[in-house]
Amino acid sequence: MAATDLERISNAEPEPRSLSLGGHVGFDSLPDQLVSKSVSQGFSFNILCVGETGIGKSTLMNTLFNTTFETEEASHHEECVRLRPQTYDLQESNVHLKLTIVDAVGFGDQINKDDSYRPIVDYIDAQFENYLQEELKIRRSLFDYHDTRIHVCLYFITPTGHSLKSLDLVTMKKLDSKVNIIPIIAKADTISKSELHKFKIKIMGELVSNGVQIYQFPTDDEAVAEINAVMNAHLPFAVVGSTEEVKVGNKLVRARQYPWGVVQVENENHCDFVKLREMLIRVNMEDLREQTHSRHYELYRRCKLEEMGFQDSDGDSQPFSLQETYEAKRKEFLSELQRKEEEMRQMFVNKVKETELELKEKERELHEKFEHLKRIHQEEKRKVEEKRRELEEETNAFNCRKAAMEALQSQALHATSQQPLRKDKDKKKF
Ligand code: GTP
Ligand code: MG
């Protein structure tokens, strides 16, 4: 046998022995202690409502919790999807519930819906991050920490009777690894019974074929396994919301009244509202909280810590050391910083060189331009000079010609003034 195998055997914990008690000790009260501690501490539950504007989100929340939450109507002109959380303190018997309802305001209202899911994903991640930061603090106060992690996402499907919109599929696909999704068909009173049946089958088929994982009510706890299995087959729930009370027989019930009849919210023949309330609040609220912590948050935490360089040790390797990981990460960070600094310095030097070259090139161009202009100027000067000389020569020639002409004229004048005298002399001779 190898030495390491022997070591492992000797280090293995011995099996605990089963003993019977001689009388009542009292630790059977542990579950009661847990219950009373939890009750005094209170519970928090956070619901995210995703669905297009006016689909009936606020009405359904009011109907579910049988109260009126102050909510304002959303505008149809939001530039992008905005998450609006509102927290309420509710009390039923002696149980306090800190309920946060987060509305995805403006969902589906934009012309370009490509990034509609992003603010929702970012919001869910931000709540995980807040919790992780609290966990990583040296002085952490998880006991009275207001946990804002989303426990369930109610995804409101428009009752078209056709198929899911691509926006619905994309959004649910992006959210399914981050939150428990319960899809619901809203305003189910606007769709006929036979159409609703086909619509439900179609939706489930599309979710499966696109690999969208919706929340499945757990069937591992015997007490609720049967009802949860039945309810899983009813998904997506087709719900109707109303806070209006209508008299049916001698009872006042919450319903929507139409000229042709009354749709009762809590009548299981009319819609699945009761099923949703049972599953969401009365049977599986704790499982939704638990799944959020153990599945979705755990996945976020694992990815985040791995990203930060932490890793668990496997059996054979050295035990995981926080100090070593921190040192390694610090070294990595410093060398990365140095590399970035060097890169920036190099970039700066290159930039300076480039600018210098550009300036030189500009100077050379300017110089060439100047030389060119100078040459043109000299050429023009030379031409002007030539022209001036020519003009001077012409002026001189002209002056000469003028002088000659003047001389000729004066000679001619002189000659004409002498002629009559000669004629007189000639006459006298005869
Ligand atoms: P925003 O917050 O503005 O996005 O709207 P919302 O999704 O909260 O819808 P809201 O609950 O304000 O309801 C919008 C309209 O739909 C109101 O006139 C409601 O009366 C009506 N409505 C709500 N639920 C139902 C329903 O189940 N069936 C029908 N037919 N109408 C409903
Ligand atoms: Mg609303």
* 286, 287, 288, 289 alpha-carbon torsion, rounded to 10°: 50
Res. 362: pLDDT tops 90: yes
**According to the model, what pLDDT value does residue 430 have?**
53
Euclidean distance between CA atoms 96 and 306, whole angstroms: 37
Ligand 2 centroid – CA 61 distance (Å): 9
Nearest protein Cα to ligand 1, atom 30: 187
Report, as an integer, the average pLDDT of 241-253.
87
**Ligand with smallest separation from the Cα of 76:** 1
Q: pLDDT tens digits, residue range 26-55?
A: 899 999 998 998 888 889 999 999 999 889
Instruction: Indicate if ligand 1 lies below 6 Å from the C-beta of 54.
Output: yes
**According to the model, what pLDDT value does residue 251 have?**
87
Greater pLDDT, 315 or 14: 14
Q: pLDDT tens digits, residue range 296-305?
A: 999 999 998 8
Instruction: Indicate if ligand 1 lies below 6 Å from the C-beta of 56.
Output: yes
- Ranking 47-51, 232-236, 284-288, 426-430 by mean pLDDT, the lowest is 426-430
Nearest protein Cα to ligand 1, atom 23: 56
Beta carbons of 366 and 372 less than 8 angstroms apart: no
Ligand 2 centroid – CA 389 distance (Å): 97
Report, as an integer, the average pLDDT of 244-269.
88
Instruction: Indicate if ligand 1 lies below 6 Å from the C-beta of 110.
Output: no
Greater pLDDT, 342 or 224: 342
Nearest protein Cα to ligand 1, atom 28: 187
Place of tokens 């649910």: 172
Instruction: Indicate if ligand 1 lies below 6 Å from the C-beta of 240.
Output: yes
Ligand 1 centroid – CA 188 distance (Å): 12
* Secondary structure of the chain as H, E, C letters: CCHHHHHHHHHCCCCCCCCCCCCCCCHHHHHHHHHHHHHHHCEEEEEEEECCCCCCHHHHHHHHCCCCCCCCCCCCCCCCCEEEEEEEEEEECCEEEEEEEEEEECCCCCCCCCCCCHHHHHHHHHHHHHHHHHHHCCCCCCCCCCCCCCCEEEEEECCCCCCCCHHHHHHHHHHCCCCCEEEEECCHHHCCHHHHHHHHHHHHHHHHHCCCCCCCCCCCCHHHHHHHHHHHCCCCEECCCCCCEEEECCEEEEEEEECCEEEECCCCCCCCHHHHHHHHHHHCHHHHHHHHHHHHHHHHHHHHHHHCCCCCCCCCCCCCCHHHHHHHHHHHHHHHHHHHHHHHHHHHHHHHHHHHHHHHHHHHHHHHHHHHHHHHHHHHHHHHHHHHHHHHHHHHHHHHHHHHHHHHHHHHHHHHHHHHHHHHHHHHHC
Nearest protein Cα to ligand 1, atom 22: 56
Query: What letter represents residue 30's amino acid?
Result: L
Beta carbons of 247 and 239 less than 8 angstroms apart: no
The number of the ligand 1 atom at minimal distance from the alpha carbon of 71 is: 2
**According to the model, what pLDDT value does residue 201 have?**
92
**Ligand with smallest separation from the Cα of 156:** 1
The number of the ligand 1 atom at minimal distance from the alpha carbon of 105 is: 4
Ligand 1 centroid – CA 285 distance (Å): 24
Report the percentage of the chain scoring pLDDT > 90: 53
Ligand 1 centroid – CA 247 distance (Å): 22
Res. 317: pLDDT tops 60: no
Structure tokens given for 308: 């930060």
Nearest protein Cα to ligand 1, atom 26: 187
The number of the ligand 1 atom at minimal distance from the alpha carbon of 271 is: 27
* Residue 359 φ/ψ, nearest 5 degrees: -65, -40
**Ligand with smallest separation from the Cα of 69:** 2
Q: pLDDT tens digits, residue range 86-119?
A: 999 999 988 999 999 999 988 877 777 778 899 9
Instruction: Indicate if ligand 1 lies below 6 Å from the C-beta of 73.
Output: yes
**According to the model, what pLDDT value does residue 108 have?**
79
Q: pLDDT tens digits, residue range 156-179?
A: 999 988 888 889 999 999 999 999
Nearest protein Cα to ligand 1, atom 24: 56
Report, as an integer, the average pLDDT of 390-408.
93
Res. 350: pLDDT tops 70: yes
pTM above 0.85, yes or no: no
Mutate to test the pocket of ligand 1, among 59, 61, 260 (most ligand atoms within 8 A of CB): 59
User: What average pLDDT does the structure give for the chain?
Assistant: 87
**According to the model, what pLDDT value does residue 341 have?**
94
Nearest protein Cα to ligand 1, atom 16: 56
Ligand 2 centroid – CA 155 distance (Å): 14
Q: What's the pLDDT band for 328 if we cut at 50, 70, 90?
A: confident
Nearest protein Cα to ligand 1, atom 14: 54
Res. 3: pLDDT tops 70: no
Those residues whose C-beta lies under 8 Å from the C-beta of residue 374, and which sit 6 or more positions away, are none
The number of the ligand 1 atom at minimal distance from the alpha carbon of 74 is: 3
**According to the model, what pLDDT value does residue 38 have?**
86
Instruction: Indicate if ligand 1 lies below 6 Å from the C-beta of 74.
Output: yes
**According to the model, what pLDDT value does residue 298 have?**
94
Ligand 2 centroid – CA 98 distance (Å): 19
Instruction: Indicate if ligand 1 lies below 6 Å from the C-beta of 57.
Output: yes
